[in-house]
Structure formats: C-alpha cells, structure tokens
Amino acid sequence: MFLSAVLVVTIVAVFVVHQLFLRSTRHWKVLTQFPGDRPLPFFGNALQVGYDVDTVSSNLMKMWKRHGMKNFRLTLGSKDWIMLSDPVDVGILLSHQTELLKPDERNAAMMPFFGNSVSTSQGERWRSTRKLMSPSFHFKTLDQKLTAVNSLGEKLLNSLSCYENKGPVDLYIYVRPFMYDLFCSTLMGVDSDLLAQLDHPYLSASRKVIKIATTNYYSYWRHIETLFRFTSDYQIMKDTIKAMHDNSNDIIKKRRAILNKLIDNIKCNNPHTDVSQIVEKKITENSYLLDELIMSKLPNGDPMPDSMINEEITLLAFTGHYTTTMTLSHTLFSMAMYPEVQRRVIEEQKSIFGDDLSRKPTTKDLGEMKYLENVIKETIRTIPTVPKISRQLQQDLTLKDGRVMPAGSSVVVYYQAIFQNPDVYPNPEVFDPDRFLKTMNTFAFVPFSSGPRNCIGFKYAWVAMKATLSSIVRRFEILEGGPGTQPQFAHRMITESDNGVQLRLKTRNYD
C-alpha cells in the first residue's frame, strides 16, 4: 500500500515538474500572446473541452466567445492548439507554400480508413498523386460530367417522387447513394447503382465513418491499438474499414477489366502501331481518375499497386459523396425553413429556363444561378459542412498583428467560429444569402480550403450540387417535415444530422 502511494506521488510529481518546465520555455511564452484558459498538468484543457465528441464543438464555441471571439489557444494533453477565426490570419496560413502538414492526431484518426492517401500524405507522395488527379477535375471536363449529373439526377427525382404529396422523406437515404453513383460514374468509370440498392453494405458502413473518425480524433488512447483492440468499438471500426476497402477493390477490378478490354481493342485495330499514345489519348478523353491511377507508374517504374489505388479511391469516393450529400440536403432544409428564400430561388430558375422548366441545365445555366449559389453558401455558413480544418506548423508563423504561432503547434482554421463572427458576418444569426453580394475578405469563406492544399474537386462539387438542387426545386416545393423531424445536427469532422434531414415534397404548381 505504502509503495503504491509513493509510486502515485512520484508519477504526479514528475508530471508537475515536466509541465512547469514546459511553461518556462519560449514555446509557451510565445503561446501566451494568445488568450486562453490555463491548462492543467497532463490534461491541459481537455476537461473543459470534454470527452463526448458531440459536445466538443459547442464547448469550443463557448471558449471562443469567452475569449472575445478572437483567435485563442488551448492545450489538449501535451498538444497546443491555436484556433483562428480572423480571415486575414487564415489567409496567411492557407496561402503558405510549405506549411502543408496535417496534424498528427487528425492523420491518426483518418489513416485507419484512408491510409496514406492524398488527404494524409505529404512530400513527393502527396505532390505526385495530386498532380495525377488534377486532369480529372479540369474545367474542360465539366460539361462531360454535367451530362452524367443530369442523367442520374433523373433517377433521383424518380426515387423522391414516391414521397410526392405524402409524409416526410429522409433526404440522406436517397441523396447519399445518388452522389456515390455519380462519383463512380464520372470519376471511376464504373456503374454502381446504389440508388437501387439502399441496403448495400457500403452505404451501411460509410454511414459510421464520421462518428468513428471524430471519436478517434479526440480520444488519444484509441491510437494505442493494444488498448483499443479490446473494445467493441474497435471491431466495429475494423468491420467498417473492411467493407469500404472491399467495395473499392471491387471497383478497381471492374474498371481494370473495362480498361484491359479497351486496350485490347485498340491493339486489334492498330496491329502494327505503338498503341501507347493512342491509349493515353483515350484515357485523357475519358477523364476517369481511376484510369489515371491504374495506368500510373511509381518513381522506380513499377505500376502503382492496387493497395495505393484503393487508399485514394476509398478517400475520394467517401469524402466526395458524403460532403456533397450533407451540403445539398442541408441547403434543401434551409429552403424549407425560409420560404421567401425558396421563392426567390424558383424565380431565378424561371428566369433561366423560361417556359421549359423541365429542361436539363447546362453549364451556362449553372453560371447564371447566382442566388442559388448564395443560398448554398449561406447554408454552409450556418451549418458548416466541415467545421474546421488544421495544419501542424513546422516553423514559426507570424500573423498580421505580429504575434507568432510557434513551430509544433496545431493551427485550426475554425470555420464554425469564422462563420459566426459578427466582425466578419454582421447579424450572423440571420439567414441572409444576399450577404454574399457584398465585398468581404477572400478568406472569410473558403469552405473547400485554399492555397496549395485546397480541395481538388471543388469546381466539380459546385456543378453537381447546383445542377441537382436546380432539378429538385423545379420539380418539388420543399416543406418542413413536421413535428419531431427537426434535424439533430452534430458538428463532427463533417456536420451530419443523427436523424437525417426529413422534409416533405409537394408537387410544384406554376399557375
């Protein structure tokens, strides 16, 4: 008993001395230029932030408000965070050409699902993969992709029509498979048709990812596999990962068969010619990302292994379909909540389509949907699809007022706070799409990030969301779901509603 007490006292003493030493360093002295609560030894500010992943977001917002709605600091365990809510400072971070590293805790949360993909990788792996992906998202391919959006959009409308003039429908149930089918069709060159298979294992598995990853992010002990593996959550995570990777392997197998058949046909038609250039031209014309990955070579000349391809398409298929689903569904919820906003959306649609309101939109039409675009933006502002992104500093970085963010810190672009900052968005509690008609700092609204590490597919995402929303609102009047259907939003790594987005769809009357 005595020895146990001595051991406990010794451990506590070591931690206290260690923390006192840390607080005497230059790193800490630089950090204290930012407002923040005094961290406890070992825990830091973790007790204030909390351990329930679904209350962390609200607790962080309370801290931000308590510290004057300005940039502030906090410590979680031994890691120091700086939370940025000033657009100018956000610009300094995101525009930096070398501070591109994602924080260790963020990567540890994501890597079990997506491996060393473009989201978590750095250096040559990140640069080469991003360069390989870029042509598939070039603006020249948008017309081609819009054709697929319109075609699959008709299937979505047919599915939703079953609820026309009836009770509420959870949009997540139909929009998620639709967006996944769209990404498979336009980026993978494979037909998935999950919209006709709502019980598909991938849909069941991918629905769990964000809550598991967010829990991983804030629960450091889960990164210690020898501990985590004895919990039931570990097996759930492993089953989820397996289902997603099995699905990606199936996609790779299907596309490889299609690609091999294409190459064989080219060889048959050109028996005395080096067909490599013809194949390359055909792949460029198709602009399928998966083709680029399958045909790519490693620096040593070997083909990219399927394990690496799997990591990339598992990431892109998930993040691509999930973020657009949330944004699209939440935008329809906003239209239901604010009928005047919906009225102005449909008036803009009528001005673009005239008497032919069933016509499929063109890229020119999408460019004219300025008010719809602002409604999407205002929805993202009020219900941030991604509440925060972050970087881990390799070197000191100086902000506009001369304060220094020290090397080793995790710096968070705190979208949720920026979007509620009255100095950036006056009357932030008001849903006002017209606020985006006014001049604002470039970095006040960068939901797809910015700079060297921005979202590579953001232009495509805008095309998919605007075209789909246009088709839905021209077909249906969007109404609130009724009592008990209010979304239960949880601001995790991606904001999602635990009870879906339940809305009623009424036949739109143009008389």
* Residues paired with 412 in a beta bridge: 83, 390
CATH of the domain at 87: 1.10.630.10
Please tell me the total count of domains within the chain: 1
- b (16+ CB within 10 A) / e for 387-406: bbbbbbbeeebebeeeeebb
Question: Is there a domain that residue 179 lies in?
Answer: yes
Closest residue by Cα to residue 477 from 343, 372, 371:
343
pLDDT for position 467: 98
Q: Find all residues with CB under 8 Å of 409, minimum gap 6, and list them.
A: 31, 80, 81, 82, 392, 393
In the numeric block, which tokens belong to residue 396? Answer: 């000191």
- State the pLDDT at residue 390: 96
pLDDT for position 246: 97
Domain-embedded: residue 2: no
Task: Take residue 293 and report the two structure tokens written for it.
Answer: 């990955």
The model scores a pTM over 0.85: yes
Instruction: Mark 462-493 as b/e (b = at least 16 C-beta within 10 Å).
Output: bbbbbbbbbbbbbbbbbeebeeebebebbbbb
The arithmetic mean of pLDDT across residues 294-298, rounded, is: 90
Among 90-104, 129-143, 171-185, 430-444, where is mean pLDDT lowest?
129-143
Range from 25-39, 40-54, 374-388, 490-504 carrying the lowest mean pLDDT: 40-54
pLDDT band at 21 (very low <50, low <70, confident <90, very high): low
DSSP class of 169: E
* Residue range of the domain that includes 442: 78-507
Q: Measuring CA to CA, how many Å separate 77 from each of 49, 118, 300, 348, 489?
A: 11, 28, 41, 51, 27
Residue 245: predicted pLDDT: 97
Q: 297 forms bridges with which residues in the sheet?
A: 303
30 alpha carbon, distance to own chain's centre: 32
Q: Span 241-247, mean pLDDT? A: 97
Q: Where does the pLDDT of residue 11 fall: very low under 50, low under 70, confident under 90, or very high at 90 and above? A: low
The pLDDT value given to residue 490: 96
Flag whether 6 is in a domain: no
Give the pLDDT of residue 175: 98
Q: What is the pLDDT at residue 7?
A: 67
pLDDT band at residue 3, thresholds of 50, 70 and 90? low
The full 3-state SS of 274-326, as one line of letters, equals: CCHHHHHHHHHHHCCHHHHHHHCECCCCCECCHHHHHHHHHHHHHHHHHHHHH
pLDDT score recorded for residue 372? 98
Chain mean pLDDT for the chain: 93
Distances (CA, A) of 361 to 13, 348, 368, 369: 68, 13, 10, 10
Tell me the per-residue pLDDT of 301-347, one tens digit each, with 9 for 90 and over: 899 999 999 999 999 999 999 999 999 999 999 999 999 999 999 99
14 domain-assigned: no
Q: Nearest 5°: phi and psi at 380?
A: -60, -35
In this prediction, residue 455 carries a pLDDT of 93
Report how far apart, in Å, the C-alpha atoms of 387 and of each of 383, 412, 496 are: 8, 10, 11
The answer to whether residue 17 sits within a structural domain is: no
Kindly state whether residue 19 falls inside one of the protein's structural domains. no
Whether residue 180 contacts residue 192, with contact meaning beta carbons closer than 8 Å, is answered with: yes
At what angle are helices 53-66 and 209-218 packed, to 10 degrees? 60
Average pLDDT of the residues in 424-430 = 97
pLDDT tens for each residue of 448-504: 999 999 999 999 999 999 999 999 999 999 999 999 999 999 999 999 999 999 999
Q: Which residue has the higher pLDDT, 11 or 371?
A: 371
Q: Which helix (H) or strand (E) holds 79?
A: strand 79-84
Task: Output phi, psi for 410, to 5 deg.
Answer: -90, 120
Q: What are the φ/ψ torsions at residue 495 (nearest 5 degrees)?
A: -75, 130
pLDDT tier at 13, thresholds 50, 70, 90: low
In a domain, 369, yes or no: yes
The per-residue pLDDT for 280 is 81
Q: Decide if pLDDT at 238 tops 70.
A: yes
The reply, when asked if residue 184 is annotated as ligand binding, is: no
451: alpha, beta or left, given left = phi > 0 and alpha = psi -120 to 50?
A: left
Is 144 a domain residue? Answer: yes
